[in-house]
Structure 1
Amino acid sequence: MSVNGKYTIVSGDTFYEIAKRFGVDISAIQNVNPSVKPESLQVGQVIDLPGPSGSRGLSHQPPPASTYTINSGDTFDAIAKRLDTDVPHIQSLNPEVAPESLQVGQIINIPSGPPAHHHHHHHIKPARPQPPIEGYTYFSGPTHKFPHPNTWAPYEHLISINERLMLLNSSPTEVFYIKKWIPIIAYESGVDARVILCIIMQESGGNVRNPTTLSPAPDFVKNTGLMQAHNGQEWDESYPEWCVERMIRDGAQGTRFGDGLIQCFHKWDRNWYHACRAYNSGRVNREDLSDGITATGHYVERVANRLIGNQWAGM
């Protein structure tokens, strides 16, 4: 039930379903409810609803600078280094939080600026104002300014909205193979099936015949297949299902020439956004995931939009 910008949780509610019902972004709901855990909604709980500025297609307001949502692998030490502060400063703002028992999705307080004794810190260039794109949300900065994995759309929903795009370039049988092998390889590799699907859509649009590309000099690495994997499997009309399986395995599990998503995940803080950044550019600027280094700047932003189920022209 919604009254004056408030909503009362009913049985079966998720942030995803509420966002669909009111035509707003999941991230906008999360931003106006920084202390609410999306995975622990209770019937009868009252949450805030975003105003017009949170409507789908408009740039969302970032979460308050004084809070941070715990991600997989986070520690106070890692957070302190990322924010150019120190552990005692974070502990002083969170006296009731046990650093050794951090939970994914937990909200903690962080300093609004670096402590006075810090003289050197990284500055993130402010993003240039972007024109609104219907169905698209702009994200930049570190991980906590991107949608939390608990707010990602269900895999079945993501498949349903992306299948029509795959069918523009791949046959129904070829799309069937893609849909068949994503969950199998996700289970075997440990890569979230939604991440695999969204990387496929970002790299090739689900086109099994996606052309091989070469990385710029001096590497000249071949990027192949559905996931543009490092010197991976290329399309062969004679073995369609085998090629689809191999292409997805190459992207998720890596090849003997280069890392896949799971290697990037473990190397870069066990964080899927960091893994996506590393998969695209080989390195990660933790302070600004829109820093493509030598690759595509908006890559992680696009993947994040896909993960929350956004749909926009030209996706």
Structure 2
Amino acid sequence: MACPSGTFAYTIRAGDTFYLIARAHGVSLDALIAANPGVNPDRLQIGQVICIPTSPGPGPQPGACPTLRLGSQGASVRQLQTLLRNNGFDPGPIDGIFGNRTHAAVIAFQRSRGLVQDGIVGVLTWTALGVNCGTTPTPPPQTCPPGTRSYEVRAGDTFYTLAIRFNTTVAAIQRANPNVNPNDLRIGQRICIP
């Protein structure tokens, strides 16, 4: 699928919704829907290709948080490189050029914060770096009972894979999360892990 000028192609992954994609890439939900007139947002398929606008479009503008990716240049990239270095991730020279080293540093930072590791700096990555993007803050993570810890669901997570990763059982995870549907986990959702 070829995306029109002013947009770029994105492949749907497990757990994606238009809302989460718009938030992750710093565009409004309306702009994302408008860029994909033939796509039903309620029937996204893994592997489906959609178009994401490169500018925020109508709605709240996260002016301090432009979407940056490999090849981006300018003052915003310098700010990104400085923030990465301040957080212990080496972006290479602070030169305002989003090259391979900056891309690798972004992915390492995203991995360390449990974000989608796509190397694209959107609102979620800016926010994790400590920038106020002028968007509604996400609700605080749920408080987990004693003997458990909070965990943010990532792409591909299931109660089964989490039980293996954290050396526990599916039943124990279900007991710690009585209001969570294990068949409807969402990327970014907070659950408790025993």
TM-score bucket of the superposed structures, by smaller chain: 0.3 to 0.5
Per the normalisation by structure 1, the TM-score is 0.24
Per the normalisation by structure 2, the TM-score is 0.33
Q: Which has the higher helix share?
A: 1
| Structure index of larger Rg | 1
Q: Which has the higher contact order (CA 8 A, sep 6+)?
A: 2
